[in-house]
Amino acid sequence: MEILTKYFTDFTEKQINQFAALKDLYAEWNQKINVISRKDLDNFYEHHVLHSLSIATQFNFPDSYDIMDLGTGGGFPGIPLAIFFPKVRFHLADSINKKLKVVEAVTAAIDLKNVTVQHTRAEDIHNKKFDVVVSRAVAPLKDLWYWSKPLLKKKPVDQPKKITGLICLKGGDLNNEIAESGCRPRIWEIEKIFEEEFFKKKYILQVSSP
């Protein structure tokens, strides 16, 4: 928990309690359903929660925004972001139902009201539109953008600075992946945001809505 308050100093008491409860909840569920590796569980707040919250250091999502976490797995980055932005609506989707059971149990346990869950593949969602799609290391950028585009609301012509599009967490050498995607994402180096060794060669990418 200390690593969160090292970088974020304005959490409410409820947010602190919600973040503090996460590790034990995931440790308990991990014994039933393997959603986090043992190594990552030992570094839970750094590898999962803080990594997810790197998005919150660069984007201040307005209240009432609708955000999809595409391929959320065990709930990252969606759950930490939903705690951080309690007035933003988060829709967490994944094709593996047993992982979503963990997401549902965790959100219920910490009284996280702004999260909905859907067992589906991105290409099967036809009746919802979102301001932003977030994702963490689920697939190559080319695929993420292909899946995300039909889910995104069009960017308002009169609001050129509105936060829109795909925001994803990536790692490693991204040159080929970006070239193959045909996108021109904005890129932030997370190691310039958080000093821990884990964040070297990890990035936030944003592809804006057309």
Q: Is 196 annotated as a binding residue?
A: no
Q: Is 76 annotated as a binding residue?
A: yes
Q: Is 182 annotated as a binding residue?
A: no
Q: Is 123 annotated as a binding residue?
A: yes
Q: Is 75 annotated as a binding residue?
A: no
Q: Identify the residue whose tokens are 């972001």.
A: 81
Binding residues for S-adenosyl-L-methionine: 71, 76, 122-123, 136
* Binding-site positions: 71, 76, 122-123, 136
